[in-house]
Amino acid sequence: MNAAVMLCLVLLAMFALSTLMLSGLVTLAWRAGLANTLTASTDLLAMRLLPACGGLLIVLTVVLPAFISQEPQRPREAAGPWLLALAVSSLLAVGHGVWRGWRACAASRSLLRDCRPIRRSIVAHGHEVEIVAMNRPIAAVIGGWRPRIVAAECLVAACSTDELQQVIAHEAAHLSARDNLKQLLLIVSPDLLAWTRVGAALAQRWRAAAELEADQRATGNDPGRRLALAAALIKVARALGASGHAYSPLSIPVASDDVAGRVRQLLAPPLGRSSPRAMSARTLAMCALLLPLTALPLYPLVHELIEALVQLGL
């Protein structure tokens, strides 16, 4: 096969290997105690996306320049079965991630179609909130690329003015943090963690942390605001207990995860309370910046590994 096809196969195969190794490292670290130390949503997001983003970074900043700079000029070269198998597995992983993302977006569009507009909206906390007719007391940010805040008319009627303001403030905090876009990235991430319990646990922990942080940003340390949001959460949770949950993967309802724990935190003394500081994300970003520089002397070794992979099984 020609050089262009070989380059594509090498990049795909090395992406598969990189994501596999990084997924294994994340799994080992999670089971070794990392699950007990990560609390910030940014840290949890970074760890969940590390295999896919790290694999892409390795391929583009290490494998690609090493292959281009070290590969001798050859008219044609045969590819071994292991290289082909890894390249195909990489394509399948990416395709499955795209399919998961498409399903999530389709579910969001379906949910928005079920939200029958009643031609009324309110503006609160700098965001427009669409009031819709639904049989469930929902208030949520819906959508991935163009998220919007919607609130059911029955929820607006059930909540007091202060409670409704805090519900909208909570959803506005999700919107400002682009949490729906982050959730879409978690869904489409093409790596081994997408099929493991560790990946599911990281995604669930991220969502729970994002809810707690949105509560904190919405209420601050104001006892009145915290009490109003806690009261609204209880009202919505009680109403949903009868109607059940049927939400899109790209919607974040105000009362979706661990309502009891969130209410306890809101009612706890707020003195000195702040969102957890994200530390591992900064460390990972620093490593991402240093990787291309530290890999320069390793280009010959990287090329030897690539050649070994190309010839494996021939």
198 and 113 share one domain: yes
Q: Is the confidence at residue 271, as pLDDT, over 70? A: no
* Token output for 207: 């969502």
Residue 195 lies in a domain: yes
263 and 117 share one domain: yes
State the DSSP code for 191.
S
96 lies in which domain range? 3-102+278-311
Output the pLDDT for position 314. 62
57 and 76 share one domain: yes
CA distances in angstroms from 11 to 15, 82, 165, 166, listed in the order given: 6, 13, 50, 48
Output the pLDDT for position 244. 47
Q: What is the pTM of this model?
A: 0.87
149 and 255 share one domain: yes
Output the pLDDT for position 215. 92
In the chain, the largest separation of any two C-alpha atoms, in whole Å, equals 74
Note the pLDDT tens digit of each residue in 18-54. Answer: 999 999 999 999 999 888 888 889 889 999 999 999 9
Distance of alpha carbon 181 from alpha carbon 8, whole angstroms: 29
CB 209 within 8 A of CB 182: no
CB 180 within 8 A of CB 136: no
Tell me how many domains the chain contains: 2
Query: CA triplet 301, 307, 312: central angle to 5 degrees?
Result: 125
Distance of alpha carbon 158 from alpha carbon 171, whole angstroms: 17
Indicate the helix (H) or strand (E) that contains 123. strand 116-124
Note the pLDDT tens digit of each residue in 142-200. Answer: 887 788 888 888 888 888 889 999 999 999 999 999 999 999 999 999 999 999 999 99
* Token output for 104: 């999530």
Share of the chain above pLDDT 90, in %: 41
CA nearest neighbour of 211 among 248, 163, 260: 260
